[in-house]
Every structure is written in structure tokens, then in C-alpha cells.
Structure 1
Amino acid sequence: MKEEQNDIEQLIAKSLAGETTSVEEEQLASWLKDDPANQEIFEKSKKVIALTKSHSSETALDIDVNAEWSKFKSNVEGKTKTIEMVTSSTSIWYKVAATFLILLVSGAILYLSLLKNDETFYETAASAEVFVLPDSSTVTLNKNSTLAYSKDFGATDRKVKLTGEAFFEVTPNKKKPFIINTAEASVQVLGTSFNINSVESDKTEVTVATGLVALSSLETKASIKLNAGDKGVLAHNNDELSSSRNDDVNFLAWKTRTIIFENADLAEVISTLNHVYNMRLNLVEGVGGNCKVSVTFDNQSFDAVLNVLESTLELEIVREENQVNITNAGC
């Protein structure tokens, strides 16, 4: 099975590098038809290569490819499996594609080094991952999120770009502020820990665990300060900023996998579970209006959580290909 997986990874890499034979292309086409998930892997792989090529070119790369390849394998040893790849002095992209696919196909973190402008770029797929930045700050990047910083990170300040959601634990440095930019907002800190959620298209949320944070609108430059225990929201439609005390005990459940419900509405429970587990759990209209949930889950799988709710609330559940529907509740 492992040999078959390695063959597929090499086949995808060769296809993206334009080095497959007609027989190999037929093999790849057959694999893509076997499972829709295979097509998704292939499309993500193409996106990765397209992104990298937009920042660099084979003639512009002033690097020792073999040295970079060896360095990469050394860095990921023990974290992901290693695939024996065929080396070729005429194809830099073969190695580039293979480097990315080692991580992408295995479902692990995808790491891109954009060589032309020395920008470091991280992207997560189906699970959260933890990164340590050059200043020793720690970032837990939620699933389906990206983080990037340029080569001048730490020179005068510490700027990063975020899409999605992440929890930051920033190393204090009063002389070099830590700045996170999203599509709509900017967050500046000196040393603290906080969560940024820019997943939803209509708002950006910042929840502070420790320290002091300034949340600003990139459009209006307006800013608010947030202390530990505060939640700040930037509404994207009008760039309005607001703050309040955070009353969501589960704001870090995606990271900690500890979920606490105390007399919570079933609709709230479903919203939290969908965010934590990246699921499509739906409550059919009119169902569960009187349901209240008081329970704690500690690092349990989605199926285990659903089984508990199903039995205690007498739920009727219909599972479909891409979602789970609650059609009735006995509470």
C-alpha cells in the first residue's frame, strides 16, 4: 500500500512538471476517476505549483537545487514520510512539485518557500498545525488557513499576513511590534496571546487571551484597544469596530479540542461543532427549539460527540455524502 501511495505521489509530481509519458497520463487519469478526493488532491497540487511559478522562474532561480532538496528532507524528517524521487538536472520543477506533494498528499502541512522574494508561506489543509516564527513567537494555524511573512521579518517590525484563523503567542519585543494583516484588518501587539478569526467574509474577530491588542481597519485606519478577555469585531460592510467581553468559552476549542456547553441551545452547539470539526451538521427548520445541552467533550472525535448528542437528546439523524442533517429531536 505504501509503495502504491509513493507511486501516485511521484506520478502527480511528474505530471505537474510535464514529464509524464502517455502511459503514465492514462494511469493518472484512472486514479483520478477512482475517488472524488483524488481529484481534489490533484487540483490543490496544481494550485500550489501555479502559485510558486508566479513568484519565481527556472531561469531566475539562483540556488543549488540539490542542496535545497537535501535541506528540505532534513527539516521534515520525523514529521512526514520521505519519498524517493528521481533526480534530474533538467527539471527543477520536478523537485519543487515533489517537495510540496510529500506534504499535501499525506494531508500534513504545506510549506512553500517563494524563492524570488524570500517570502515564507504556510498553508494548512484538513488539520491545524503549529509553527515557530524566527522571533520564537508561536502560531497555531487552523485548518484551511494561510500565513506568510517576508524576508525582512524582524528587521524593524514583525509583519505577517493571515487568511483564515490562527492563535498567536507573541514573544515580547517593545522595539519591534508584531503586526498581523488580514484582507480587511490589522492587529498590532508587543507581546501577548490572542485568536484571530477571518474565516467569515463579513467580519474579522479578535479574542485576547493575555496582554493588549490594537485592532484596526485597513480602510479607515480607525482603531480600538482590546485587553485580556475582550473580543473585538470589525464589520467588513461598513468598517465599523466594536468590542465586548468575550463570553464564548469555546473560542479556542478548534485548538484545544475541549468543548464546554452549559445549558446551550442546540443551534449554538451545532455552530460550534461545525467550526471545530469543519463539518456540515445541519438542523432542519423547526427542530430542536426546546433542546438545551450541558456537556463537556475532551479531545473526542466528531462521531463520538454526535453519538452522545444523538442518544441523550433522542435525535434522528440522516447522513448524506457531504453533510449530516438532524431531522427530529425528542427534547
Structure 2
Amino acid sequence: MKNPDEHIRSLIARKIAGEASPEDLLALQAWLDEDSGNKVVLDQFERIAKLTSTHFPSDGPPIDVDVEWGRFLKSTTRVRRLGTVDSGRWIWRIAASFALVAVAAFSIYYFVERTAVVRYEAKTTTTKITLPDGSEVSLRKGSYLVQAPDFGKSNRSVTLHGEAFFEVKRDSLRPFLILAGTTTTEVLGTSFSVKSWDDQSSVVVSVTTGLVSFRDQGTRQELKLHAGQQGVFVKEGRRMGMPARANPNQNAWATRHIEFDSSPLSDVVATLNAVYGDKVTLVGTTPGTCQVTVTFDKQSLESVMKVLEATLQLTIRQNGDHYEIVAAGCK
């Protein structure tokens, strides 16, 4: 048994707070299975949390651990003057009191301080945020990111639910950690995306620049991913691997850089809808011979549709900001 690391402490805190996802609980169970002593640690945390929630309610005044420690020292001085126990028993009482105060002080700090987390949420559209270290994150619609209370101290840790594209500011002394389900993605400074939806069967990491470490906390599998590579963690069976051919448009929703290489028209439409938000529809049956090879970089959907219309001899019907492809020549 050893002291839990930051990731495990975060899982324990979410479990106690009732915020743990199924993936969180799986990762926590994997940690419990590693050592029978870990169950003792979890039980201690749960008892401490119950104790602090009873004696130190969240809506009460802030707790000054230094003041409480000073009071403890004064009380032990009085006990020592008035006490009649022998020195051996006194030492054990001091040790027990010290342990109790140390545990209480830690629990007060950990379980009260953790409420100072910062949560970023993209409710209706993709949202770009800047973290305290200068790193930039594009959160996809429906996603949210939780910034750890001690972000920027020994490391830079965030928890992701959904999908996000990260442009991490380099810091060789403080690695950047993204916790997603049972997986951890670690970098020093690079750009990449993490896709981790609770209702999907896998976690996907796609690297644009730099080097990324992608690992599963439960099985300790790890992948080193370079620019242009993807790593996939399949939740059922807990398998990790790399696809033979990475999807070049995995991050296009955030970067607006789109590449098609002999791609079927149906795939093109699916990608455009993923990037621009379900605004293109194929009406009727279109020829299967339509193959698209083109690159777009930060262009508007209107501009993209004009290029496709001219290149593939498409017949396009526009209704506001929506487009219907009603025929395709593909000559």
C-alpha cells in the first residue's frame, strides 16, 4: 500500500462527492485490486470526508489550519502539566493526537479546498478558453473541462468529459495531464485532441504537433503518439492501440483544416457536418463514383460549397445557412 497519487485522489474525491462516472469507478476499482491495503486508504478517506462534512460544513466559515494547530499545541501543553500518566503512555497519546490532527488538517484542506475547482462548459457551441498557464483549449459543444484546484503547482491537471482540442504551452517542469475516464494523456507542450464521451465505446487521442503519452491507469498500457498519429482506447475489454490510418480530419472541428484524398462524397458531407454543424444534406441517390481530393484551411462553409459545386458539378440548393446537394455530375 502507498499514498494515492493525484489521479487516484481525484477519483476518490469524485466518488465521495457522488460525481464519479462509470469510467472513474472502473479506474478506482482497478487501483483497489492492485493492493488490499488500498481499500483501507479508501475507507479512511470516506470516514474523514464524513467527519469533515459533519464538523466543518461547506457553508461555514473558512478553516485556518495553522490556527487549529496552534490551539492543539496549547492544549497539549496544558495536558502535559496536569497529566499524571507515565512517559511511555504520554508519548503514545501525543503520537495519536498528532496523527489525528495531521489527518484532520489534510482532510480539511483536501475536501474543502477541492471545492475551488474551476469548471468550463460548452453548452450550445464550441467554446475556446485560456487556462492560467496560457494553454488554450477548444471545447466541443456539450463538453466540459474541470481544472484541478492545485493546477500549476507540481503539474497541470484537468479532467475532460466530451471532446476538446488542446494547444498546450510548453513547461518542462510541470507536465500537462488530461484525465478522461480511466485514461491519462500527458504532454509537456504540444497540440492534440482528446475525445471521451461517456456514451461512446472508446477514448481517442489525435496528435497534431509534438509528442503525447496516452495511457490507461488500470492496465498500465501506454502509447507514445507523434504528430499525425492517433491512439484509441476501447473501454470494453480495455484494449489500447493505433489505427493503421489515422483520420486526418479528427481535429477539423477545432482547427478548420480539412483534407480529402479520394474521399467518397458521403464521407465529405459527414465531415462537413461534423465541422460546421449539420448544415449539409444529400438528397436522393448520388453517384458512388464521386471522389473528392481537396484541402480547405479555415474557409467558410459557403466557400467550401462553392469549390465543391464547381469541382464536382454539383447542383446545390441553399436555404439560409443550410445546403442540399440534389444532384452530382462527378465528371
Greater relative CO (CA pairs within 8 A, separation 6+): 2
Q: Could you tell me how far apart the structure 2 residues matched to 1:274 and 1:242 are?
A: 27
Q: CA deviation at 1:309?
A: 3.1
Retained in 1: the 8 A contact 2:206–2:251?
A: no
Q: CA deviation at 1:218?
A: 4.3
1:220 corresponds to: 219
Task: Extract unaligned runs of 5+ from structure 1.
Answer: 1-58, 64-113
Q: Could you tell me how far apart the structure 1 residues matched to 2:328 and 2:214 are?
A: 41
Aligned AA (1:256): T
1:192 corresponds to: 190
Q: Could you tell me how far apart the structure 2 residues matched to 1:202 and 1:283 are?
A: 28
Note the 1:1-331 alignment, pairs <5 A. Answer: 60=59, 117-199=115-197, 201-244=200-243, 247-279=246-278, 281-283=280-282, 287-310=286-309, 312-315=311-314, 326=325, 328-331=327-330
TM-score between the two structures when normalised by the length of structure 2: 0.56
Q: CA deviation at 1:160?
A: 0.4
Partner SS for 2:115: coil
CA deviation vs aligned residue, 1:6-56 (integer Å, no higher than 9, x gap): xxxxxxxxxxxxxxxxxxxxxxxxxxxxxxxxxxxxxxxxxxxxxxxxxxx
Cα pair distance change 1:284/1:183, threshold 3 Å: farther
Q: Could you tell me how far apart the structure 1 residues matched to 2:236 and 2:223 are?
A: 18
Q: Could you tell me how far apart the structure 2 residues matched to 1:282 and 1:219 are?
A: 42
Q: CA deviation at 1:312?
A: 4.2
Cα pair distance change 1:312/1:208, threshold 3 Å: closer
Partner SS for 1:117: helix
Task: Extract unaligned runs of 5+ from structure 2.
Answer: 1-57, 63-111
Which protein has the larger Cα radius of gyration, Structure 1 or Structure 2?
2
Retained in 2: the 8 A contact 1:184–1:204?
A: no
Cα pair distance change 1:128/1:60, threshold 3 Å: same
CA deviation vs aligned residue, 1:140-197 (integer Å, no higher than 9, x gap): 3233321111211123322101122222222334443321011342212233322212
Q: Could you tell me how far apart the structure 2 residues matched to 1:312 and 1:208 are?
A: 31
Give % identity. Answer: 38
TM-score between the two structures when normalised by the length of structure 1: 0.56
User: Comparing 298-307 with 187-196, which one deviates more in the overlay?
Assistant: 298-307
Q: CA deviation at 1:266?
A: 1.0
Cα pair distance change 1:207/1:324, threshold 3 Å: same
CA deviation vs aligned residue, 1:121-149 (integer Å, no higher than 9, x gap): 11124443332222232223233321111
Aligned AA (2:190): T
Cα pair distance change 1:234/1:306, threshold 3 Å: same
Q: CA deviation at 1:247?
A: 4.5
Cα pair distance change 1:219/1:226, threshold 3 Å: same
Paired residues, number: 224
Partner SS for 2:296: strand
Q: Could you tell me how far apart the structure 1 residues matched to 2:304 and 2:61 are?
A: 52
Cα pair distance change 1:298/1:192, threshold 3 Å: closer
Q: Could you tell me how far apart the structure 2 residues matched to 1:126 and 1:294 are?
A: 32
Retained in 1: the 8 A contact 2:183–2:217?
A: yes
Q: Could you tell me how far apart the structure 2 residues matched to 1:274 and 1:233 are?
A: 23
Partner SS for 2:286: coil
Q: CA deviation at 1:316?
A: 5.5
Partner SS for 1:151: coil
Retained in 1: the 8 A contact 2:209–2:228?
A: yes
Retained in 2: the 8 A contact 1:209–1:229?
A: yes
Q: Could you tell me how far apart the structure 2 residues matched to 1:266 and 1:256 are?
A: 21
